[in-house]
Amino acid sequence: MTISQSTADTEASHYCVIEAPFGRLGIWTEVVDGSLMLSRIDYLPVHSKLIAPKNLLAKEVQKQCMAYFKDPRFAFDIPLKPTGTAHQEKVWRSAQEIPLGKTATYGEIASKIKSGPRAVGNACGANPFPLITPCHRVVSAQGLGGYMQEDSPGFYRAIKIWLLRHEGVL
């Protein structure tokens, strides 16, 4: 999906909050080099105030997220803001290569990209596009492992479990 220059000019940066089966999703869109792009998705608690999408891309992100929540085989097609270091990009590409219903360990990805498991975990935690870049499919050799780099591991871990169940892993 692309948003034209003229549309992007009239629809600058925008933040909205939509419903998700495990809480809420905060969606940031912004104009980057004349094109409207998704700049971030945040997991939010269920009590977060809903804010309706107002630009075309935010509405499309909402539509595609709802399609994924109905069917985990849904393939996202959203313009993403370029972000991240070269290492993070390698990790995120590796996460996107993990098939639906499967997982890979931090160590497996580290070995593949010639890195360390902790660095892979840090890159997964910095992923600005959860759901679209499925870092939830990256797990520890001993179990689920962590999820995201936040102070509320129970909240994010519950989301990881929901996503893996939704995709048929658990």
**Which residues does the annotation mark as catalytic?**
135
Q: On the CB side of 2, how many CA atoms lie within 13 Å of its CA? A: 6
Cβ contacts of 141 within 8 Å, gap of 6 or more: 105, 106, 107
Rounded to a whole number of angstroms, the CA Rg of the chain reads 16
Residue 102 DSSP one-character state: -
Residue ranges of alpha helices (H) inside the chain are 5-10, 56-70, 86-96, 106-113, 117-125, 153-166
Measured CA to CA, the distance from residue 138 to residue 106 in angstroms comes to 6
Q: Is the dihedral of CA 91, 124, 126, 160 positive or negative?
A: positive
Tokens of 40: 């971030």
Backbone φ and ψ for 23, nearest 5 degrees, come out as 150, -125
